[in-house]
Chains A and B, each alone.
Chain A
Amino acid sequence: MAGDPVAGDTAPEIGVLALQGDVREHLSALRAAGASPRPVRRPEELAAVSGLVIPGGESTTISKLAVAFGLLEPLRARVAEGLPVYGSCAGMIMLADKILDPRSGQETVGGIDMIVRRNAFGRQNESFEAAVEVAGVAGGPVHGVFIRAPWVESIGAGADSLAEFQGHPVAVRQGNLLATAFHPELTGDHRVHGLFVAMVRAAGR
């Protein structure tokens, strides 16, 4: 279970899954958005946070390390009990119930009723940045940085698409779970992390 319930104006303790990926950028974005962030690599560290970010990185690597170090089942259990989790890029893949083209043995945490396609926008030469309107994020479009990014191939009734690009959902929310195909942590714009911190605060009340 989570530690102390999150009070209204204290900084919620939010973990960043630190097996591999751009952990530092998420830690600093969370700090800027008013959270008290910390890296999480072990089950006991996961048990102590009231929210979790799964960062960008290589989804196959993160998946294999999560299995090898006994984090996958604890992650699934905490998601099932309502832990707020935000995943960007590889993190979006980890939150998908299903991957269209998984590598052998590639497991996800799941929780969002969607099928994702890995590297859907292409290889690195096709990686791009573009403005994206995200429902629930006020103040104009966010700067979407898409790096070998996935898109959402299909989405179930339980999940809401918050943003689309080229006809595919690229930001999705289902209950306490949030996922983006792009990397707000690379932009210095902390509004998406702000939305997630608000979700963590709301879940703690």
Chain B
Amino acid sequence: MSSTPTSSTPATANPATPETGTARVKRGMAEQLKGGVIMDVVTPEQARIAEDAGAVAVMALERVPADIRKDGGVARMSDPDMIDGIIEAVSIPVMAKSRIGHLVEAQVLQALGVDYIDESEVLTPADEVNHTDKWSFTTPFVCGATNLGEALRRISEGAAMIRSKGEAGTGNVVEAVRHMRRIRGEIGRLRGLDNHELYAAAKELRAPYELVREVAELGKLPVVLFSAGGVATPADAALMRQLGAEGVFVGSGIFKSGDPAKRAAAVVKATTFYDDPKVIADVSRGLGEAMVGINLDTLPDGERYASRGW
């Protein structure tokens, strides 16, 4: 299942010399982000606004998904200078996106020293068959998924964190809800199966049996599960957490809104107090205009990012 067996399962030994890039260190990094908000930023100034608002990490990219949609064309990894500038500007972790299957973009991002690589459907896929072998990297990866089978295939390739795909750049949370409910629902169904049925379930999910059994035992993914794609308001973020997301990515929703600093801080607070409607009401006041959303039935199939990857 893994090309580098040393990192396929958390180490149990007590190494005398420090070991980097282990599964425990990669997955453990995502555990530290739980309960937090990861924000898309395109400039060092935006990165500082995100950090000041309490973001747990920033995603450095050249254009937010809403602009990628508007501009069209091929969307690629960001300029290294731009990523360096953002790494320089903040002390919180910095993530960046590579195209699906573009292992060289991923190698470049690792060389730049980003803290997490998002092998992302928001960029134009570079390979229509294969995702990147993520075990072969020291830098951990997060990948999108629309259902449990897809999440487990990404984990078998070495992803150390999963996010629902949603539909990025739309400001419409409906797809994020669909994917989160589906993933959680499929996990719930596995819990009810006996040992004999898990083999058939693995076949149905097109996922490795060992991972399917692990999920059935744990009642959750073996890695952290965030939500992404369409979160635009504090209530959206809290909704995703109530549906089982351990944290949220906010893309275009912050810096395409009227008052980014205030909205960013409000989304952070609503993510922590996701189950307290009074707090969510308080932080939702006077935020100015939310990003203009897109109704998904007006979106042509070719412009649905969630269908990229498999």
Contacts and interface: CB of A to CB of B under 8 A. Distances in A.
B138 interface: yes
Contacts, number: 133
A202 interface: no
A143 B15 CA distance: 8
A107 B24 CA distance: 30
A129 B92 contact: no
B32 A89 contact: yes
Contact of A57 (B11, B25, B34, B53): B34
Interface in A37-66: 41, 56-58, 60-61, 64-65
B19 interface: yes
Interface string B237-275: 000000000000000000000000000010011001100
B113 interface: yes
Interface in A90-137: 90, 101, 103-105, 118-119, 123-131
Interface stretch (B54-62, B70-78, B120-128, B175-183): B54-62
A159 interface: no
A74 interface: no
B110 interface: yes
Nearest to B18: A128
B272 A186 contact: no
A85 B31 CA distance: 21
Contact of B20 (A103, A126, A140): A126
Nearest to A20: B35
A124 B52 contact: no
A32 to B, nearest CB: 16
A141 interface: yes
A204 interface: no
Given A20-B36, A128-B25, A129-B11, A65 B16 contact: no
B22 A65 contact: no
B14 interface: yes
Contact of A124 (B14, B15, B116): B116
Contacts of A140: 14
What are the 10 tightest A-B residue pairs by CB atom distance, in nearest-first order? A128-B18, A124-B115, A131-B14, A20-B35, A22-B31, A64-B54, A130-B18, A58-B56, A127-B25, A186-B28
Given A20-B35, A141-B14, 10 more contacts: A18-B272, A19-B35, A60-B91, A65-B268, A65-B269, A125-B113, A130-B17, A147-B32, A186-B24, A187-B24
17 contacts: A41-B272, A58-B93, A60-B54, A65-B269, A68-B54, A123-B113, A125-B21, A125-B115, A125-B139, A127-B20, A127-B25, A128-B19, A129-B15, A130-B17, A130-B19, A146-B18, A186-B24
